[in-house]
Every structure is written in C-alpha cells, then in structure tokens.
Amino acid sequence: MRRRDLYQSLLAAPAMSALSGQVYAQRTTALPPLKITGFKVIATSGGRNYRWIFLKLLTSEPGLYGIGTAGNHFQTHAVITALEKHLGPWLIGKEADRIEDLWQSAHYRTYWRNGPVNNNALAAMDVALWDIKGKRAGMPVYDLLGGKARDAVPCYDHAAGRDMESAVESVRKSIENGFRHIRVQYGEGGYGGGGFIPAGQGNRPEGGYQGLAFDEEMYVDTIPKVFDYVRSKVGFGPKLLHDVHSHLSGINAVELSRRLQPYQLFFLEDVLAPELIQWYRQIRQAATTPQAVGEVFSHPYEYLPLITERLIDYVRCRVSAIGGITQARKVATLCELFGVKTAFQEGGENDPVNQLAAYHVDISSTAFGIQEENGFPPLVHEMLPGTAQIRKGYLYGSGKPGLGVDLNEQVAAKYPLGEIKDGGAYRTDRTLEGAVVRP
Ligand code: MG
C-alpha cells in the first residue's frame, strides 16, 4: 500500500469502527419472537419420475421461510396427507426458533411414533426450521452446528456392469470423473444382481413364479469373483464398495463378508435386513470387511445397539427417514463417541433438499465417513436454485445462509406428481419357488 493510501485508510478507520459497533450491537440484541404463520406442501415429479415432497414453512417475518423435505417414494400420499391434515395445522402459531422443543413435541404429538411416514413429516418440519434459523442468523446451517470440520464432503460414485469387463469399464469411468470411492454393482436385475436366475429358467414349481429368481448361494459365489477381477484390473488404489440390499440371510451374510475380505472393501452395505441385525455379532467375529447398514432404519432401537456395541462401521440412515437434521446430528455425535462413522443414504430417488440436510451434518461432524453421490439435471437446478454440486468426487453446498437452496414454485408447478401405479410399491424379488426376498 502506498503511503498516501495508508494515510487515507487510517482517516477512514474511525467511521468503519463505528459501523462495526453498530452491527455488533444489532447482533447482540435478542431477535424478536418468530411465529410459524403458514405452510405449503409442494409435490413434484422433478421433471422425471421422482415423487418429491417439500414443506415450505412461512413465518411472521415477511419474506422469511424455510424449505424442508419429506420425500417418500413408496408412501408418497400418506406423507402428503400427514403434512396437510395433521402436522401443518398443528404448527401454525408455534415458535419457529424452538427447534428442539418442536422436534420433541411433534414427535410425541402422534402418540404412536417413529416409522417412515411420521419421521418424514417430522423431518420436513425440522429441516425447514434449520433453514429458517440459518437465514435469520445469516449463516449456513453447518455454522450453527459448529462450523466446517472438513473442506468439502467426499462422495462415492455408482459403477455397475452386466459382465466383468463392463464393471471394470464403469469403475474406470468413475476414477476418470475424480471419484476415489466407487460402489460396484453387478449383473442383471438391479440389487441382488449376480444372484439372479433368468426369467423362465431353472427348475420351477408347476404354474408358479416365472420372473427373475434370486439365489443366495449363487450371489455369494459370484460377487467375490467380480471383486477379484476388478481388483486385478484397477488395483487396490480405488476404495470399492458393494450394496447387498438386504438380500441375504444370516450365515450367507457372514460368508460373503469373509470371502470379500481379501479385496479390502471400503464397506459392504446392508448385507442383512433390519430384521436380522443380531447377526452382525457373528459377522464381526468372522471377518474385518467394514459394514455399513441402515438405509431403511426408522427407529433408534434399530441403530443404537449396532453403534454402541461397535458392530458396524458406517451408519446409513436416510436423514429424512429418521426425523431430519436434529436427529441426524445426534446420531453423528453418538457415532463419534463410539468410533463409528456416518454414510447417510442419499442416492436414488432422494431430493436436493435432503442431500443438503445431510451435507450440513456431514461437513460439521467429526464422525463423517462418506456421502452417497446424487447428481441432478439442469432442470432440477432451475427448480431448486442452490442445489449442491459434485465436482471431482466432492459435494459443495452453495454457502448461502440456511440450507443454501431455494424452491422455485412456478417451475415445480409445471411438473406435478405423475400417476402412481400399483400404489407406488417397491419391487418384490422372489426365489425360484416363488418366496419373497427381503429388499
Ligand atoms: Mg443401499
């Protein structure tokens, strides 16, 4: 700085100091009470076949509102009704600043609590309240949670192949796109692929089920061979993951974990369904393959023993399925104390608001492990300006106050929910003899 500029800046200093004092005085004066004055439930297809549900909470401060997420792909209208007829009317007149009190009272308001529908409604309220509080404070939500504990949020990518070569090709593509963590799925039929007998083939009961048939032993035999091949081609640099999607029963889950051990997975996901979590004790004794579990959990009793007994390595609850940011950060704190990590489930049909709800907990938590990748087309960025972006394997929020995302209602209105066939049910896999396989 030249001497003359320095002199002028010193002359200007008292005025700046007076202004800073004024700003400080404003910031150290308690804010006036803030009431919830209204709500809107906004459902949209997102321009694809999404079934996204957003809750917009309006407040007594003109122009100040929050956006929450209640997406539930399989019970969409149950959640919309829960918001429109039950939670929404109850919220009118409540104090928007009392997030913890509202979470507790909203949780017990239904008397029968937990479960995905109740938790989705609760999460919509909770995430919107954190958005409001952040906007009011002029801070991103992560700053309210203690500030950044890392510079950005690493994500794992999704690779898949119908055969060994295409699996390797898909992994290489993820590496080229900058991902260090890559989930590898295999074969035909989606989750459970590698264990499906093609439609109409195999020895089937007369007049029975003819679709793709899942075979546990075939799956346990196939998947380690896939990882053996992929490792032989890409080496041990990339961190590889695999999602069983709860398709196995107890001892086969133990056996798959044992057989995958030589391939050093970053984690093996949902090797068992929530109904079978007691088997994680046996898995722990048999193998060091890291375990991630929990995307269908909606009750604390499901994840509490797994965390406190250190039976898993990553908890994979979906933020909107366990009640929002308030509950997710408690889970993260619990994980931190027990040396377990978080890997909130954010892929598939998840929306950008839920992705950001997870992002704010992720980036401010010492217990963070990894986040699931989810990229959105330009239309979604137009509908939800401030949607997080993934660049070279890292997720970046907008850095704006609150969640950092807005909802353009005019754009959303152009893409209403589509027709929901068969009630919107999740698909049912079956065995050769036609028995249901847990998803
Ligand atoms: Mg999964």
How far apart are the CA of 196 and the centre of ligand 1, in A? Answer: 18
Per-residue pLDDT at 290 = 98
How far apart are the CA of 315 and the centre of ligand 1, in A? Answer: 11
234 with 344, same domain?
A: yes
CATH of the domain at 280: 3.20.20.120
Among the listed residues 93, 97, 91, 94, the one whose alpha carbon sits nearest the alpha carbon of residue 133: 97
196 with 318, same domain?
A: yes
393 with 315, same domain?
A: yes
For residue 435, give the 3-state DSSP assignment.
coil
Beta-carbon neighbour count of residue 265 at 10 Å?
Answer: 21
Angle at the Cα of 34 from the Cα atoms of 30 and 35, rounded to 5 degrees: 160
78 with 30, same domain?
A: yes
How far apart are the CA of 439 and the centre of ligand 1, in A? Answer: 10
How far apart are the CA of 270 and the centre of ligand 1, in A? Answer: 7
Per-residue pLDDT at 30 = 81
- Report if residue 438 sits inside a domain: no
How far apart are the CA of 350 and the centre of ligand 1, in A? Answer: 12
135 with 283, same domain?
A: no
Indicate the residue among 94, 115, 144 that finishes a domain.
Answer: 144
How far apart are the CA of 295 and the centre of ligand 1, in A? Answer: 6
- Report if residue 309 sits inside a domain: yes
Residues 6+ apart with CB under 8 A from 31: 97, 136
Task: State pTM to two decimals.
Answer: 0.93
Contact 232, 262 (CB under 8 A): no
**148 φ, ψ to 5°?**
-65, 130
246 with 374, same domain?
A: yes
Among the listed residues 239, 247, 283, the one whose alpha carbon sits nearest the alpha carbon of residue 265: 239
CATH of the domain at 103: 3.30.390.10
- Report if residue 364 sits inside a domain: yes
- Report if residue 189 sits inside a domain: yes
Catalytic position from the list 77, 86, 107, 191: 191
Residue ranges of the chain with per-residue pLDDT less than 70: 1-19, 27
279 with 372, same domain?
A: yes
Q: How many domains does the chain have?
A: 2
How far apart are the CA of 360 and the centre of ligand 1, in A? Answer: 21
How far apart are the CA of 413 and the centre of ligand 1, in A? Answer: 30
How far apart are the CA of 384 and the centre of ligand 1, in A? Answer: 25
Residues 6+ apart with CB under 8 A from 273: 246, 296, 438, 439
Indicate the residue among 144, 162, 186 that finishes a domain.
Answer: 144
170 with 258, same domain?
A: yes
How far apart are the CA of 317 and the centre of ligand 1, in A? Answer: 10
- Report if residue 65 sits inside a domain: yes
- Report if residue 410 sits inside a domain: no
d(CA 272, CA 279): 8
**Residue 107: active-site member:** no
How far apart are the CA of 409 and the centre of ligand 1, in A? Answer: 31
- Report if residue 204 sits inside a domain: yes
How far apart are the CA of 242 and the centre of ligand 1, in A? Answer: 9
**Look-up: residue for tokens 């598939």?**
348
Per-residue pLDDT at 18 = 61
121 with 167, same domain?
A: no
231 with 131, same domain?
A: no
44 with 95, same domain?
A: yes
Percent of residues, the chain, with pLDDT higher than 90: 91
How far apart are the CA of 211 and the centre of ligand 1, in A? Answer: 23
Catalytic position from the list 181, 245, 247, 360: 245
Range of the domain at 133: 3-144
How far apart are the CA of 8 and the centre of ligand 1, in A? Answer: 61
- Report if residue 424 sits inside a domain: no
**Residue 245: active-site member:** yes
Q: State the Rg of the chain over Cα.
A: 24
106 with 229, same domain?
A: no
Indicate the residue among 144, 166, 194 that finishes a domain.
Answer: 144
